[in-house]
Amino acid sequence: MYTLGIETSCDETSCAVLKGYRVLSNVTLSSLREHKKYGGVIPEIATRAHLVNIDQVTRLALEESGLSLAKIGLISVTAKPGLIGALVVGLNFAKALSFALKKPFIGVDHLLAHLFAPFLDHQETLKFPFLGVVISGGHTEIYRVDDFNKVKMIGATRDDACGEVFDKVAVSYGLGYPGGPQIDKLFNPAYCRDFKFKCGRIGFDLSFSGIKTALMYKKIEFEKKGTVDGRLRQRLISSFQHTVFETVVSTIQEAAEKLKIKTIVCGGGVLANNYLRRLLKAKEKQGLKMLITPRQFSGDNAAIVAGLGFYLYNKRGLSSSFRLEAGAS
């Protein structure tokens, strides 16, 4: 079966075509350039960009796959979570295609879709249970996954998401938006313990707002002394990144030990970070199996949405009705 995936939860308009779990095409067009000057995503701009781009992106994905719409057997679309206006564009587009083609559609949770990324193209074998970890610009969550329709959240951020904090710190330090790639580029492990910062934790819930505020006040403190230079900024940023990721990885390890689960599946845009990937892979020496999303599927994209949708439809017999609303559980 061929599945058409549609993703419009934030600023990426993405469409993909899969044959089973094999990715035939995955086309993504981002409106990021229009948001940069604001230091974050503007929902109105993102929604309008989806309206303009979704036809073109779908056509390009079909052309790249070598298929026509008539060959599509299932339509899978992000229904939650995300910017409501943006979600509505993708969901209504999927419903219209489903109605016109007389083909089933399924709305999926794109956070769970991030956890499907390592299983695309049969790169990994799908086995349950596993500990699922999503680290992105809008979410930092830990799940026990007994199946993709049997998921229990066991930890989440109490305030800012991990990626969100990276963006805010980067903007504050003049690195621009989005901040994750800039901080990853600036990071130097030789400086990772130069400053002592701390992230809050309650059980397996995390808090990043405190370290964000600490970084901003440190900058103000050094600016008053007139001692801010490129090296000092690098030392502060390196210590910040090290503290955040050490806290995240230790929390994941403790959760796995408590639940007695050896397989960890990690997805989300922040997984593009080189240092985080190294820290996670290092845990394999302690007996954990780390399945980390391939870089090309780490950000929001339609291939992961199509893969999860096909699994839920083909293996669990699930589909959606036209009554499904954006953001609904």
Instruction: Name 292's bridge partners.
Output: 266
- The CA distance from 41 to 27, in Å, is 20
pTM of the model: 0.94
Span 213-252, pLDDT tens digits: 999 999 999 888 877 788 999 999 999 999 999 999 999 9
For residue 329, pLDDT beyond 80? no
Using alpha carbons, select from 156, 131, 135, 120 the residue that is nearest to residue 268. 135
Q: Identify the pLDDT of residue 227.
A: 73
Residue span(s) of the chain under CATH 3.30.420.40 come to 2-119+298-316, 124-293
Q: Does domain 2-119+298-316 have CATH number 1.10.1060.10?
A: no
The separation between the first and the last C-alpha atoms of the chain, rounded to the nearest angstrom, is: 27
Name 163's Cβ contacts closer than 8 Å, sequence gap at least 6.
135, 136, 137, 138, 140, 180, 268, 269, 270
Q: Which is it for strands 150-156 and 140-147: parallel, antiparallel or unpaired?
A: antiparallel
Which two structure tokens, joined as six digits, stand for 79? 């229904």
In terms of Cβ atoms closer than 10 Å to its own Cβ (0-12, 13-18, 19+), residue 155 is buried
The pLDDT-based confidence of 31 (bands split at 50, 70, 90) is confident
DSSP states of 3-27 = EEEEE-SSSEEEEEEEETTEEEEEE
Q: Does domain 124-293 have CATH number 3.30.420.40?
A: yes
Residue with tokens 């490129």: 230
